[in-house]
C-alpha cells in the first residue's frame, strides 16, 4: 500500500447495500473502515478497504 497512491471509487445504490458489503468484508476477515455521517443520523456512507483485499470481489460494483 505504500508503493501505490491509487484510489478507486465504486458506487452502491444505498445504505442497505453498503451494510451488506460491510458484513461480507467482516465475515471474510478483510481490513476495512466504515464511515458514518453524524449530520444524517449516523447513516453509513462509505467503506475504505485495505489494498490487500481481493480486488476481484468488487468487480460487480460500478466505478464512479
**Each residue of 18-53: pLDDT tens digit?**
999 999 999 999 999 999 999 999 999 999 999 888
Looking at residue 3, its pLDDT comes to 72
What is the value of pTM for the model shown? 0.87
Question: Given CA atoms 24, 26, 31, 35 in this order, what sign does their dihedral have?
Answer: positive
The C-alpha angle with vertex 29 and arms to 18 and 1, in degrees rounded to 5, equals 85
- Yes or no: say if 17 and 25 are a contact pair by the CB < 8 Å rule: no
DSSP character at residue 9:
-
Amino acid at each position: 500500500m505504500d508503493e501505490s497512491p491509487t484510489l478507486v471509487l465504486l458506487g452502491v445504490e444505498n445504505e442497505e447495500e453498503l451494510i451488506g458489503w460491510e458484513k461480507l468484508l467482516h465475515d471474510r476477515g478483510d481490513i476495512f473502515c466504515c464511515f458514518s455521517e453524524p449530520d444524517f443520523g449516523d447513516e453509513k456512507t462509505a467503506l475504505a478497504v485495505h489494498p490487500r483485499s481481493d480486488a476481484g470481489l468488487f468487480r460487480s460494483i460500478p466505478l464512479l
